[in-house]
Chains A and B, each alone.
Chain A
Amino acid sequence: MSRLVIDPVSRIEGHLRVEVQVDGGQVTEAYASSTMWRGIETILTGRDPRDAWLFAQRICGVCTSVHALASVRAVEDAVGAVPPLNARLLRDLIATSLCVHDHVVHFYHLQALDWVDPTAALAADPVRAAALAQSISDYPRSTAGLFASVQTRLKVFLESGKIGPFTNGYWGHPAYRLSPELNLIAFSHYLDALDFQRDYIRVHALLGGKNPHPQTYVVGGMASPIDLNSQDAINANTLQEVTQILQRGLEFVEQVFLPDLQAIGAAYPEWTTYGRGLGSYMVFGDYSLSPPGIARPPRDGLFPGGIIRNGNLSAKPEPFDPSGIAESVAHSWFRYDDPGAALPPWKGETTPQYTGPEPPFEQLDVAGKYTWLKAPRYQGAAMEVGPVARMLVGYTSGDARIRPLVQGALDALHLPPEALMSTLGRVVARGLETRLMAQYSLELVNRLRDNVAAGDLAVADTGRWRPTSWPEGALLGVGFHEAPRGSLSHWVVIEDGRIRNYQAVVPTTWNASPRDAEGNPGAYEAALVGTPVADPQRPLEILRTLHSFDPCMACAAHIYDAEGRDIIEVRVQ
C-alpha cells in the first residue's frame, strides 16, 4: 500500500495538493487540499458594494469575468437593480465566449496531454495521418504535407530540450494507447488551438474593453455603450467582427475539437468506468434571456437547473433550492464560533486559523484540518458541479437542445448515459458543452443586433446606482452563474451602503472540497478512489481523473506507502 501526493496537478494558477493512498494497484483513499487562501471575503468587508466586482475578478487567475459577473449579480439582487436586456446579452456573450475559449484551451493544453503522447507522433506516417484525419472530419488542414511539416517542427522542438508545456509528461507510459498517426493529428491540432486562441480572445477585447480583465461591468448593467451607427460604441462593425470570430470558433469546435474527442474517447473505453465519484450533481441554471428573479438563479435558460442524487439518471432532476447551500469547516483551516456548524453563505464566517504543519511538509493531518477550502454542501450532501453536471441535468430534464446533443455523442461511442459519470465522461461532456456554447453565442450576438436595431440602446439600470435609492436595513443578495468549471455563487450582505459580509462559493470549492463534519468526501476525493495506478512512480491515471475536473489551481500530489513513507512527490505544471 502506498500514498501518492500530486503537486501541482494543473498548469494553471493556484495551489492544490492531493494525497492518495495506493493499495493493490489502485487508489483506496484520497484527500484534496488547497494550500493557499485568497482572503477575498475579508478584503471586501467594509467596501462599497458597487466596487466589489473589481476585486472579485481577481479571485481566479483564469476566470476573471465570471467572478465579475457573479459579483454584480449579487449586488444587483441585494439593491434591486435590474440590468436591461442589452446588458444581459452582452454579459452572456462575454461569458459564453470565455467558456468556449477556456474549454478548448484546457483540452489541448492540459487534458489532451493525459491521453496524447506527442513523442509518439514522431513515428507517425504523415500520409496515413492525413487519410485518417480526412476520414473523421472535413477540417481542411488535414493534408500529408501539413502533417509532415508539423512532425518536423515537433522533432526540432523536442530536441531543443526547452519543451515548456511538455516538461514532466510521462511520455512513453504504457497507458498511452493512441496510434502514432492519431498522436500526430492531435499534436497538430494543439498547434491549431493556439491559433484559435489568438483569434477567439478578440471577442473579449471587442466587447469587454480592456483585456484580459474586463472593465465594463457596472452594478445595473454594462458601462459599454452600444449603438449600431455610432463610432463611440459597440457598433455594427463590432458585432460583425464578433460574429465572424464566433463562426470561425464554432467551425474549429465542430471540425477539430469534437472529432478529436471522439477519437480519444473511442481509444480509451475503460475510462468510462473509472472516476465516477459522488454521482450527485448540482446545476444552478444560467444563460436566460428573462429578467433575473430575486435570490434565485436565472431560469429557463440554456442550462436548466437541478439536482441529481446518487447516480439516478432515470428520474427528472429535483429543482435547485438556494437555501440548501451551507458550508462546514470541520476539516478546513477556519474557525467558526460553533465549530460543528454548517453555515449558509449569508451567515458565513471567514476567520482563518491555520493549524497545519509548517511548510515544507511531507504529509497533511487528514484526520484534522487539512485545507483552505471550506466544505460546501447541498442539503447536507456533497455535489459535483461543472460541464458533466450541466449535461446530465439537461439530459435527464429532457432539455430540447442538450438531450439530443448528449444522445448523439453517446450513440456515436456506443455508450449508455451512465457512462458519462466517469473520468472520460467529464472530458466528453466538456466538449459537448463547448459546442452548445459556441452555437449559443451566435444566437446571442444576433439577438443583441436585433434588439439594438429595434431601437433599444439601454445598457444599464441607473435607478439604483445611488445608495440613497437602496432599501433600508440589511440587504441580502446572491449572484448565481454557471462558470466554465461549474456552479458559482457570490453572496453579499450590505448594511449602511457598505459590505458587511461577502462569501464566494466557487466551483472548485465544490469539486475539491474536503470531507465535511460527517466525514463525507468531496468530488475529487470520491472520484479518485478506484482509479488504477499501474506505476506509482508515474501516476498518469491519477492525473487523468484530476484533470477531468479541469482544476483551476496548480496542484501537488504525494504518494504514500502503508507506513506513511513518501514514495514520490509529483509536480505537474
Chain B
Amino acid sequence: MTDPADLRASTTPTDAPVLVLGIGNELLGDDGVGVVAARRLGTPPIPGVDVLDGGTLGLMLMPYLAGRDAVLILDAVSTAHGRPGDVIVIPDGDVRRGHGVRATAHDIGLVDALAATELAGCAPRRVALVGVVPESVTERWGLSPLLDARVDALVDAARSVLAEWSVLAEEPVLAEQKVQVPGHA
C-alpha cells in the first residue's frame, strides 16, 4: 500500500493547488479557443497545476473549482472587450461577479459554479480569466485563421498570470516528463 505507484493510481485531478480551466465549445469555431489554449498550455504538464478541458459543463464545473488555491479560466470573451484577436485579462472580483464575462450560457454557469463554491465554503482563493475576442462563433470544428494565430498570445498571457501567482518555475519543464493521466498512470 505504500508503493508510490499505488498512490498514483488513485490520483484525481482535484489534487493540484492551481487549476487552469479552458471552457467553450469546439463545435462552434472560435468558441472553443479556451479549450485549445488550455491544451497547449498543459503540454508539457506544469507541476502543481491541473489543466482541464471544461468544455461547456457550466454549473457542473463546481467540483473542479472547489478547494483550489487559484483558478485561471481561459475562454472566448465578448466583443465588448475589443477587436477579434485581442487578448484581455479579467481580474478576480469581476469574474466572480460575472462582470465582463460573456453572457453565454456556459459563462453564466461558471459564475454560478463559483458562487456555489463560496456558499459551500470551498471557494478558490484567487480567480482570473484570460480571454480572447473571437472572430466567428459558428458551427465549425476548429478556429478561424485569425484566432488560431492568437492562441500563443493567449497562452503567454495565461503563463504571465501563473507567474504572478508564483506558480511557474523559472526553469522550463522538461518535455520528456511523463504525462500523468489521473486514474490510470
Interface residues of B in 2-44 (CB under 8 A from A): 3, 5-6, 8-10, 12-14, 25-28
* Distance between Cα atoms of A48 and B156 in the complex (Å): 33
A38-B27, A197-B62 known; A209 and B118 CB under 8 Å?
no
Stretch at the interface among A39-47, A248-256, A327-335: A39-47
Given A58-B25, A162-B97, also A210-B60 (CB < 8 A): no
Do A212 and B56 contact each other (CB < 8 Å), given the known contacts A206-B10, A573-B108?
no
User: Known contacts A43-B141, A238-B184: does B115 contact A13 (CB below 8 Å)?
Assistant: no
For A37, list chain B residues within 8 Å (CB).
139
Minimum CB–CB distance from B170 to chain A (whole Å) comes to 28
In the complex with contacts A43-B140, A212-B60, A191-B55 CB distance below 8 A = no
Residues of A262-285 contacting chain B, CB below 8 A = none
Q: Are A40 and B114 touching (Cβ within 8 A)?
A: no
B53 contacts A164, C-beta separation under 8 Å: no
- Flag whether A1 is at the interface (Cβ < 8 A): no
A51 to chain B, nearest CB (A): 11
A364 within 8 A of B: no
Give A232 to B57 CA distance when docked, in angstroms.
Answer: 29
Are B141 and A162 in contact, CB atoms less than 8 angstroms apart?
A: no
Whether A75 is near chain B, meaning CB under 8 Å from some CB there, is: no
Q: Which of B46-67 contact A (CB under 8 A)?
A: 52-60, 62-64, 66-67
Bound-state CA distance A412–B82 (Å) is 59
- Is A55 among interface residues, defined by CB-CB distance under 8 A? yes
A39–B139 Cα gap in the complex (Å)?
A: 5
Q: Enumerate chain B interface residues (CB-CB to A < 8 A).
A: 3, 5-6, 8-10, 12-14, 25-28, 52-60, 62-64, 66-67, 96-97, 105-106, 108-109, 111-112, 114-122, 139-141, 181-185
In whole angstroms, what is the CA distance A8 to B108 when docked? 11
Which B residues lie within 8 Å of A573 (CB)? 105, 108-109, 112
A62 and B119 within 8 A (CB): no
Interface members, chain A 183-217 (any B CB < 8 Å): 191, 194-195, 197-198, 201-202, 205-213, 215
Q: A162-B97, A164-B116, A194-B66 are in contact. Are A13 and B56 (CB under 8 A)?
A: yes
Q: Which residue of B3, B27, B66 is within 8 Å of A43 (Cβ)?
A: B27
Q: Are B184 and A224 in contact (CB under 8 A)?
A: yes
Please name all residues of chain A whose beta carbon is closer than 8 Å to the beta carbon of B118 when the two chains form the complex. 157, 162, 164
Can you add 19 more A-B contacts, CB < 8 Å, to A162-B97, A206-B12? A11-B112, A39-B139, A43-B27, A55-B141, A58-B25, A61-B55, A61-B109, A62-B58, A157-B119, A163-B115, A164-B116, A164-B119, A165-B59, A202-B12, A205-B182, A206-B182, A212-B55, A224-B183, A232-B184
Number of A residues, CB within 8 Å of B: 56
Chain A: residues with CB nearer than 8 A to chain B? 8, 11-15, 37-40, 42-43, 55, 58-59, 61-62, 64, 105, 109, 153, 157, 162-165, 191, 194-195, 197-198, 201-202, 205-213, 215, 224-225, 231-235, 237-238, 241, 553-554, 573
Q: Is the CB of A109 within 8 A of B59?
A: yes
Find out whether the CB atom of B55 lies under 8 angstroms from the CB atom of A64. yes
With A and B bound together, what is the CA distance between A38 and B140 in angstroms? Answer: 9
Determine whether the beta carbon of A38 is less than 8 Å from that of B12: no
**Which residues of A lie under 8 Å from residue B55 when comparing CB positions?**
58, 61, 64, 212-213
- Tell me if A40 and B27 are in contact (CB < 8 A): yes
Contacts of B111 in A (CB 8 A): 164
Within 8 Å CB of B106, what residues of A? 13, 61
Q: What are 26 A-B interface contacts by the 8 Å CB criterion?
A: A12-B58, A12-B59, A13-B58, A14-B105, A15-B105, A39-B140, A61-B55, A61-B57, A61-B58, A61-B105, A61-B106, A109-B116, A162-B97, A164-B112, A164-B115, A197-B62, A206-B10, A211-B183, A231-B8, A232-B185, A234-B183, A237-B9, A238-B183, A553-B105, A554-B108, A573-B109
A225 lies within 8 A of B57 (CB): no
Across the interface, which residues of A come within 8 angstroms of B10, CB to CB? 206, 237-238, 241
Cα-based distance from A224 to B183 in the complex (angstroms): 10
Listed residue (B3, B63, B115) with the most chain A CB atoms within 10 angstroms of its CB: B63
- Chain B residues with Cβ below 8 Å from A61 are 25, 55-58, 60, 105-106, 109
Contacts of A195 in B (CB 8 A): 120
B158 nearest CB across to chain A (Å): 19
Q: Are B26 and A58 in contact (CB under 8 A)?
A: yes
Tell me if A212 and B119 are in contact (CB < 8 A): no
Bound-complex Cα distance A191 to B66 (A): 12
Of the residues B27, B56, B119, B121, contact of A55 by C-beta under 8 Å = B27
Partner of A212 from the list B28, B57, B183 (CB cut-off 8 Å) is: B57
Minimal beta-carbon separation of A544 from chain B (angstroms): 19
Expressed in whole angstroms, the Cα–Cα distance for A141 and B63 within the complex equals: 21
- Chain A residue numbers with a CB within 8 Å of B117 are 194
Residue in A8, A153, A207, A234 whose CB lies within 8 Å of B105:
A8
Interface core residue of A195, A211, A213 (most chain B CB under 10 Å): A211
Instruction: Give chain B residues whose Cβ lies under 8 Å from the Cβ of A42.
Output: 139
Contacting residues, chain A, for B9 (C-beta < 8 A) = 231, 235, 237-238
